[in-house]
Amino acid sequence: MDIFKQFFPKESGNSFKKHLKNILGFNPGNISLYKTSLTHRSVREAADENNERLEYLGDAILSALVADYLFKRYPYKGEGFLTEMRSKMVNRQQLNEIALRMGLKKITLYNKSDSSLKVSQIFGNTLEALVGAIYLDKGYKKASKWVAERIILPHMYMEDLELLEINHKNKLYGWANKNGKALEFETIHEHIENGRRLFTIAAVVDGQAVAEGRAFNKKDASQIAAQIAVEKLGIGKDSEEAE
């Protein structure tokens, strides 16, 4: 049975296709491909029925398209700048926020009763899977045009991204070193959620936990903890006010 019919019943006509077309801006060809891209493993575990394979493909395609965009936009910038800008543009939090603004949450199938999914970046991952589906359905040129017109231009403000600090761990370490503080990131809890290990990591300053982050890998969890700690400690605010 097509599980999408549970969310888009017959009386609403081609509701799913309408929602999808509004997001895509074009008529999809292989509709089953897009349904797979919008199906999270929490409702379909088989590799050919959920979006993890398309997410893998879309991640690579999106990274290449963003790299191409940056290469052309900044002809005189070096590799380091371009690499950092790409990281800012395709980081999980950024893509998750864009996916939510685009309305992907409305047509993504996932287990809404799973509380752990609320702290993960599944909609950003779904956006990557959608890019993978567009690439397979319409080709590289169409995917390139779609990413530029639907993701980069309306949602990514390059001047702001140039100034954005995304490595909160480095920022927190710099503050700790400057102020003679001992900083550590400790894994305080981990357990299995839907077959995946969920980590809770604390940013510990002078032996006291000041913030916690949760994610499905330690790197993301520690960055979340660092970001919360930076905000909580007011790091950077003094210099901003001085300017």
- Catalytic center residues: 59, 128
Q: Are 230 and 171 in contact (CB under 8 A)?
A: yes
Q: Are 166 and 87 in contact (CB under 8 A)?
A: yes
- Report CA torsion sign: 89, 91, 97, 99: positive
Q: DSSP letters of 164-178?
A: ----HHHHHHHHHHH
Q: Are 37 and 46 in contact (CB under 8 A)?
A: no
Question: How far is the C-alpha of 116 from the C-alpha of 95, rounded, in Å?
Answer: 19
The closest alpha carbon to 92, from 144, 128, 50, belongs to 128
Q: Are 62 and 70 in contact (CB under 8 A)?
A: no
Three-state secondary-structure class, residue 210: strand
Q: Are 152 and 86 in contact (CB under 8 A)?
A: no
Please identify which residue in the block is written with the tokens 């950092």: 84
Distances (CA, A) of 60 to 38, 129, 133, 187: 18, 10, 12, 30
Question: How far is the C-alpha of 135 from the C-alpha of 141, rounded, in Å?
Answer: 8
